[in-house]
Amino acid sequence: MLGKKGRILSGHRPTGLLHIGHYEGTLRNWAALQDEYDCFFEIADWHALTTGYDDTADMPERIEQIAIDWLASGLDPERSTLFVQSHVPEHAELCLLLGMVTPVSWLERCPTYKDQIANLSDGAGPGYGLLGYPVLQAADIIMYKANVVPVGEDQLPHLELTREIVRRFNNFFGGIFPEPDALLAEFAAVPGIDGRKMSKSYDNTINLSDTLDEVARKMKSMFTDPEKLRMGDPGHPERCPVFVYQRMYNDPARLDEIKMQCEAGELGCVQCKLEATERLIEAVGPVMERRAELAGNLDLVHRVLREGAEKAGAVAADTMAEVRGAMSLDSTR
């Protein structure tokens, strides 16, 4: 970690293919942080079980696909540690021990827990794992004594709960863990092809695993300004999902031209979509092409995750030895 600003822990749950919303929202930022921070990135398969416990048959494939997306997006195993959460069992032990000192009332007030139980379809109600999700999340972060966690403003309450758990644990057992700070980032809000936020639950995504032909087909079907029905009608770029793509991928001078032409009714939606598609493919096409190559080399993907788990496991073993000693749990070792 010599010369680095600190240590980062972040990750994704393997619940489906990653899309350009993930790429613009997190992956580009993570890749840029690798030279500044000592980065640990986890594929959080245990976290995925908190809501997807009844369907795990394809979990190994979902983990592979996340890893491929990460590597294609520039996460470098030479500069970062990439691993699968369940391959480092110390996470479960630390979660258990943190749970001993975490009041249930803290977990019940968590915004994510309230949102999730409102959407549960299982008549049995919320599970213990869902309630304890923030404890496992805290264990993930502090296992590596992460100093900072890249988050958006909406995630600050979740990070503050981790900080509260750390303060309580340190109060009982000594200052073992640092309180992680937020590394605030502006995460791009990328619209899906139906105009809503891009999300696999809406089936409106442009995936990093898509072919360039699939990207073009999806962009062709993208919703536009509902008030611009035909060529010649004045448009409202600020209401148009396609203009968001122009803003992300076109140069500023051309963006001003597009805005003026659209508002004047001089630019049709078909032509605007074609140009946005070209700029998107120029920007993200190389990632998609790298991804296609990596998908044919699963031995490399598995090796990266195996070696990452070994590196993460070595750090986790040291942390847990310190925790057991502080809690007087190592007398027979």
pLDDT in tens, 224-276: 999 998 889 999 999 999 999 999 999 999 999 999 999 999 999 999 999 99
User: What are the residue ranges of CATH 3.40.50.620 in the chain?
Assistant: 7-190+297-326
- Asked whether residue 187 carries a pLDDT value surpassing 90, the answer given is no
Identity of the residue numbered 152: G
In whole angstroms, give the CA distance from residue 204 to residue 223.
Answer: 11
- Asked whether residue 204 carries a pLDDT value surpassing 80, the answer given is yes
In whole angstroms, give the CA distance from residue 81 to residue 310.
Answer: 9
Quote the pTM value.
0.93
- Asked whether residue 1 carries a pLDDT value surpassing 70, the answer given is no
- Asked whether residue 85 carries a pLDDT value surpassing 60, the answer given is yes
Rg (CA), the chain: 22
What would the mean pLDDT of 30-38 be, rounded to a whole number? 96
| pLDDT for the residue numbered 330 | 77
- Asked whether residue 283 carries a pLDDT value surpassing 70, the answer given is yes
Banded model confidence at residue 152, pLDDT cuts 50, 70, 90: confident
Across-strand partners of 207? 19
| pLDDT for the residue numbered 124 | 63
Q: Check if CATH label 3.90.230.10 holds for domain 7-190+297-326.
A: no
Q: Check if CATH label 2.40.50.140 holds for domain 210-292.
A: no
Token pair in block for residue 285: 């096409």
Pick the more confident residue, 63 or 125: 63
What would the mean pLDDT of 274-300 be, rounded to a whole number? 97
Residue 216 burial (10 A CB sphere; 0-12, 13-18, 19+): middle
What would the mean pLDDT of 18-29 be, rounded to a whole number? 95
> pLDDT tens for residues 97-141?
999 999 999 998 887 776 777 666 666 667 899 999 999 999 999
Across-strand partners of 81? 40
Q: Report the run of H or E that residue 7 belongs to, with start and end.
A: strand 7-12
In whole angstroms, give the CA distance from residue 177 to residue 17.
Answer: 34
Banded model confidence at residue 4, pLDDT cuts 50, 70, 90: confident
User: What are the residue ranges of CATH 1.10.240.10 in the chain?
Assistant: 210-292
